[in-house]
Amino acid sequence: MSETTLLGYWIRRFLLEHLIGERNLSRNTQLGYRDSLALLVPFIAREANRAVDALRATDLTADILRKFLADLETSRGCSPQTRNQRLAAIHALARFIGEHSVELIAWCAQVRAVPFKKTAKAAVGYLEKTEIDALLAAPNRRTGQGDRDYAVMLFLYNSGARADEAAQLRVKDVDLAASSVCIFGKGRKQRHCPLWPVTVKTLGSIMGDRAPSEHVFLNRRKSPITRFGIYALVRRYASKVSAAVPSLGKKRVSPHNIRHSTACHLLRAGVDINTIRGWLGHVSLDTTNIYAEMDLQMKEAALSKCDIGGDPHSVRRWRQPALMEFLKNLV
């Protein structure tokens, strides 16, 4: 059996040669693709009744792939969104194999024909200013950990940074003199964000005289905090203040909610949508436009401007045209 027929041969080339060498994808993306394939391969081995290292690429059939996707949702309890993420990784592997092996082009087409599942677009959640203020007031700033926790949440709200972006922030990325920070986002895209004076003071306090290459936010063991640690931190304080602010108990509070809150509050303050796009590091303006769509307060303000007032019965009602009239006038 030729090595080029083995699935393992192509997976190794895909992960090392394509994802890293050719596309230079971020570490998190690489790990996402790896985890998807680590779930897929044992499933194929069970279905094909073959050892993992003996699996051929053609052992991954469209039928087995559909069974795998169904198993993700039923046995593992994955959401349709997670299912689609796993499928995207498998599609990318199949495309890579098809581009490098003429014999497997037809197989590639069959695998990539397995469709994504349509999912409902979830409403974007965000926090009101009073809820943000309650979160920021929760840490006990008389302790080192409380001061660190306050700094993390203040930075998230000021910059609109993702949890991973905050976790990877280095001392050299913060320019206290210029009151700005350099953030490295998805796809290693770089953006600069202004900092409030209170954020500058707080970050300067927790950084001290650390070396430029060190991380800004550390855990209790003085190791760099992870994005999971930041998620746990935010949720812990949300749970702590939910008794005093009941509305927080009804929301799923996370670092990403704080990011959404930053965008909404900037929009309410009159900042134009393109500036917010650059602030958050979005590639497309379409992504940023969701904040204009979801802000109920701005919708209510717009509605009040076109309130007709007076007696609603006195308003002339619109007449729906007859069908043939509608068809003739349709351009």
User: Choosing from 259, 260, 265, 277, which is the catalytic residue?
Assistant: 259
Establish whether 256 is a catalytic residue: yes
Indicate whether 296 pLDDT > 70: no
182 contacts 175 by C-beta, under 8 angstroms: yes
155 and 85 assigned to the same domain: no
Establish whether 277 is a catalytic residue: no
User: Choosing from 33, 157, 237, 291, which is the catalytic residue?
Assistant: 291
Which CATH number belongs to the domain containing residue 172 in this structure? Answer: 1.10.443.10
pLDDT tens, residue by residue, 122-154 = 666 789 999 999 999 999 999 999 999 999 999
- Residues 224-240 as b or e (16 or more Cβ within 10 Å = b): bbebebbbebbeebbee
Element (H, E) at 228: helix 227-241
Indicate whether 309 pLDDT > 70: no
Residue 56 lies in a domain: yes
Establish whether 282 is a catalytic residue: yes
User: Choosing from 50, 100, 240, 256, which is the catalytic residue?
Assistant: 256
194 and 293 assigned to the same domain: yes
157 and 266 assigned to the same domain: yes
289 and 149 assigned to the same domain: yes
- Which pair of structure tokens corresponds to residue 147? 């001061």
User: Choosing from 18, 86, 260, 282, which is the catalytic residue?
Assistant: 282
106 and 137 assigned to the same domain: no
- Which pair of structure tokens corresponds to residue 252? 């799923």
170 and 222 assigned to the same domain: yes
User: Which amino acid does the sequence have at 123?
Assistant: A
3-state secondary structure 105-155: HHHHHHHHCCCCCCCCCCCCCCCCHHHHHHHHHCCCCCCHHHHHHHHHHHH
Show the domain range for 73: 3-112
Establish whether 100 is a catalytic residue: no
Name the more confident of 4 and 44: 44
* Percent of the chain clearing pLDDT 90 (strictly above): 64
User: Choosing from 186, 227, 235, 251, which is the catalytic residue?
Assistant: 186
- Which pair of structure tokens corresponds to residue 210? 């650390």
